[in-house]
Structure 1
Amino acid sequence: MSETAGVREVKSAARTVELLELLAARGDRPARLQELADELVVPRSSMYALLQTLITRGWVRTDTTGSLYGVGIRTLLTGTSYLDSDPRVRLVRPYLDEASEALGETIHLGRLDGPDVAYLATRESHEYLRTINRVGRRLPAHAGALGKALLAERPAEDLPEGPYEPLTPNSRTTRESLTADLAEIRARGYAIDREEAVLGIIGFGFALRYDTPPQDAISCSVAVTRLTPDHEAEIVTVMREIRARIESATAPGGTANWR
């Protein structure tokens, strides 16, 4: 049994969390009992009992046959509470609105979570934009503008060894290529994702330096077909200004220092 800060992990709680994370990672693909038991190496009877407990409390749902399982509505309510209670998210939201109004493009706020970026807020483009990034979704940090902006703020030795998962033919899959890209980001002051996460979409990411190292970043996503040199310059100018205003508006102290 593992320990955290000298406290022994509660096995039943850990198993519950692992189950919910597994179901969440499957997205729109519900799971069967045996799949879950096999994946988590848990006896079928124990997994069934755990599922029934979570169904009763709304954390897991099942279909009319009782054979398929997915996350329940309580996960949504808890996730919404996280966003509503987070002071950084509350502070940044109005600035996302301003950037969206000024640029007419999709604006994101994301937070580094292990090897991924979790999307915390999104303002949609005035044009239809086929992105996969919605609130609550995750994207490997190496592939998108948000993640690369945050990785560039960290020592090179903190990068995972790789190889990295390619999301498109343009994704960087080796530690060497990502390290070189991050060096350019540091020199430039912001990240660029040229169809590395989604084909047809270019992203510009800006780390928010109100934490050290930064945990959050904002980005602007635009369709390749609409990105002219003048529009790119406008995006960079507006997003730099928005970043500076967010960082200036962040008062030190006064809120819980979450880890």
Structure 2
Amino acid sequence: MSETAGVREVKSAARTVELLELLAARGDRPARLQELADELGVPRSSMYALLQTLITRGWVRTDTTGSLYGVGIRTLLTGTTYLDSDPRVRLVRPYLDEASQKLGETIHLARLDGPNVAYLATRESHEYLRTISRVGRRLPAHAGALGKALLAERPAADLPEGPYEPLTPNSHTTREALTADLAEIRTRGYSIDREEAVTGIIGFGFALRYDTPSQDAISCSVPVTRLTPEHEDQIVAVMREIRARIESGTTGGTVNWR
């Protein structure tokens, strides 16, 4: 049994979290009882009892036959509370609106979550819609502008060995290629994702340095067909200004979550 800060892990609580994370990772693919039991390595009867408890409390839902399982509405309500109570998200939201109005493109706020980034806020362009960037979705940090901007704030030695999962033919798949890109990002001051996460989309990412190392980043995404050298210069200038104003607007007096 693992320990955190000298406290032994509560097995039942850990199993509950593992189950919810497994169901969430499946997205729109509901799971059957035996699949969940096999995946988590627990007896079928124990898994059934856990599922029924979570169904009663709204954390898991089941279909009319009682044979398929997915995350319940309580997960949504908890996620919404996370966003509403986070001081960084509240701080950044108005600046996302401003950047969206100035550039006419899609603007994101995301946070590093292990090897991934999780989208916390998005302002969609009226010119195009990309559901891949919806709030709550995660993407591998190595593949997009947001993740690369945050990885560049960390020592190269912290990168996983790879190989990395390719999302498009342009994604970095080796540690060597990603390391070289991150070195350029540190010199440039922002990241560029040239169709590495989504084909046809270029992103510009800017780490927010109100934490050390940075946990959050903002980005601007634009279709390749809409990007000109002049528009790229405008995007970089606006996003740099927005980043500086966000960082200067950070104040104390709030909970410093870890």
**Same fold, TM exceeding 0.5?**
yes
Deviations along 1:154-209, one digit per CA (max 9) or x if unpaired, are 00111111010000100000000000000000011000000000001100000000
The whole-number CA distance in structure 1 between the counterparts of 2:193 and 2:30 is 32
Deviation at 1:257, TM superposition (A): 1.2
Contact 1:23–1:31 (8 Å) recurs in 2: yes
Count residues with an aligned counterpart: 257
RMSD: 0.6
The whole-number CA distance in structure 2 between the counterparts of 1:102 and 1:76 is 31
Deviations along 1:211-255, one digit per CA (max 9) or x if unpaired, are 0010000000001110111111110010000000000100xx311
Deviations along 1:113-136, one digit per CA (max 9) or x if unpaired, are 110000000000121133511100
- What SS is found at the alignment partner of 1:132? helix
The whole-number CA distance in structure 1 between the counterparts of 2:241 and 2:130 is 26
- What SS is found at the alignment partner of 1:239? helix
The whole-number CA distance in structure 1 between the counterparts of 2:73 and 2:235 is 37
Contact 1:131–1:198 (8 Å) recurs in 2: no
Deviations along 1:84-129, one digit per CA (max 9) or x if unpaired, are 0000000000000000000010000000011000000000012113
- What SS is found at the alignment partner of 1:90? helix
TM-score (norm 2): 0.99
Deviations along 1:27-61, one digit per CA (max 9) or x if unpaired, are 00000000000000010000000000000000000
- What SS is found at the alignment partner of 2:117? strand
- What SS is found at the alignment partner of 2:99? helix
Which has the larger displacement, 210-219 or 121-130?
121-130
Contact 1:117–1:147 (8 Å) recurs in 2: yes
- Structure 1 segments of 4+ aligned residues over 3 angstroms from their partners: none
Contact 1:129–1:223 (8 Å) recurs in 2: no
The whole-number CA distance in structure 1 between the counterparts of 2:248 and 2:221 is 24
Q: Specify every segment of 5 or more residues in structure 1 that has no aligned partner in the other structure, as ranges.
A: none
Q: Specify every segment of 5 or more residues in structure 2 that has no aligned partner in the other structure, as ranges.
A: none
- What SS is found at the alignment partner of 1:237? helix
The whole-number CA distance in structure 2 between the counterparts of 1:51 and 1:26 is 16
Deviation at 1:68, TM superposition (A): 0.4
Contact 1:145–1:203 (8 Å) recurs in 2: yes
The whole-number CA distance in structure 1 between the counterparts of 2:130 and 2:169 is 17
- What SS is found at the alignment partner of 2:133? coil
The whole-number CA distance in structure 1 between the counterparts of 2:213 and 2:11 is 32
The whole-number CA distance in structure 2 between the counterparts of 1:232 and 1:192 is 11
